[in-house]
Amino acid sequence: MTSKSKPTALVTGASSGMGKSIAERLIADGYLVYAAARNTDRMADLARLGAVPLRMDISKEADIVAAVAAITERSGGVDVLVNNAGYGLYGPVEEIGLDEARYQFEVNLFGAARLTQLLLPAMRAKGKGTIVNITSMGGKIYTVLGAWYHATKHALEGWSDSLRLELEPFGIRVVVVEPGLIETGFGAAASQGILERSGSGAYAGVSKSVAASMERSYGHGRGTDPKVIADVVGEAVRSRRPGTRYAAGKYAKMMIWVRKWLGDRAFDRLIKSQM
């Protein structure tokens, strides 16, 4: 049975943080929202608002295929895809195994790419659609011990730009959103991972310094409310001619500007000063 009375949207990583806020905003804007995450129990509040929770591990082909099949059966596809699922792998390149690095790419890039591939035919058939890729200011800058995380976000930026050109003739828009410092669990999870992986040994000093910097920067009301990013997504989706990218949230515009205009050495000094 299909449901096509409302425009439809799929939001990944919707169990918390930006993903949950984006789902809430799109529901308020009148969308039938499919909310995808590994833990559907954490999306019970979204279900009460009218969302359709989907269990999906973005790194698993079977989960992605099953989610798309469920959406296709009920709605025939989606009008809006928000690729939000992701996490941050931090630590010294020397000490992070390539299996971990590959998983970082599976979650932050390849999962979004596979989901996009499967949903595109229905969008092309309708001659319209919007794909919103949540990258990060980390897709334009870099930080100490963030090599693999930044690699995925830089890759998602470039992938999105090429995709935008590919899909424009079919009436499908591709928008990049680059959040800055947002109030989510990102910092705590990343700093804990650094200490567990490299709290001793050759990189212990820099690892403890970076972890402490993350603890200071994230949480405790120092970042931007995820609703700010949700509002950006909502406005971009509604716009007849959205921007190609939006930088939003604490430090995003400033850090991207500094990186672009002051050069590598000046940016290196800025990053090191925060440690």
| Nearest-10 Cα torsion for 244, 248, 254, 259 | -50
Q: How far apart are alpha carbons 28 and 49 in whole angstroms?
A: 9
Residue 31: active-site member: no
- Cβ atoms 11, 33 nearer than 8 A: yes
By three-state DSSP, how is residue 236 classified? helix
| Nearest-10 Cα torsion for 176, 55, 238, 227 | -80
The alpha-helical segments, DSSP class H, found in the chain are 17-28, 44-49, 61-75, 98-105, 111-126, 147-167, 186-198, 204-217, 226-238, 252-273
Q: What would the two tokens of residue 121 be?
A: 């035919």
- Cβ atoms 157, 151 nearer than 8 A: no
The catalytic residue among 31, 34, 142, 149 is 149
CA gyration radius, the chain: 19
Q: What is the identity of the amino acid at 217?
A: S
Q: How far apart are alpha carbons 68 and 141 in whole angstroms?
A: 33
Q: Which residues are catalytic?
A: 149
